[in-house]
């Protein structure tokens, strides 16, 4: 039985994996922002990366869409002169 549980993964391990994924995604959003700052330009590639991160937070980690937008808005708007917009 213990062997089967190890193969299936424990709920604690699943939570730990989700926590690690969440940290990686949040860190990635900061890296996208930092890259835009370093290059002095926000491009479509930055937008696509931020959108992919947001989609992963929703799909993989069950974040509420409003919370995703709130977080990503803070990240993007930490660059002076940039505004975060959502497509409706």
pLDDT tens for residues 4-26?
A: 555 555 667 788 889 999 999 99
Higher-scoring residue by pLDDT: 86, 31? 31
Report helix angle 65-76 to 11-39, nearest 10: 30
Residue 57 confidence (pLDDT):
97
84 contacts 62 by C-beta, under 8 angstroms: no
Q: What is the pTM of this model?
A: 0.83
Nearest to 21 by CA among 48, 60, 50, 47: 60
Mean pLDDT over 36-43 rounds to 95
Q: Write down the pLDDT at residue 13.
A: 76
């Amino acid at each position: 039985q213990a062997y089967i549980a190890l193969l299936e993964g424990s709920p604690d391990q699943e939570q730990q994996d989700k926590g690690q994924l969440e940290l990686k995604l949040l860190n990635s959003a900061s890296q996208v922002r930092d890259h835009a700052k370093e290059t002095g330009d926000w491009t479509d590639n930055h937008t696509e990366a931020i959108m992919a991160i947001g989609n992963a937070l929703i799909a993989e980690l069950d974040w509420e869409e409003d919370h995703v937008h709130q977080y990503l808005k803070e990240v993007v708007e930490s660059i002076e002169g940039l505004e975060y917009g959502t497509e409706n």
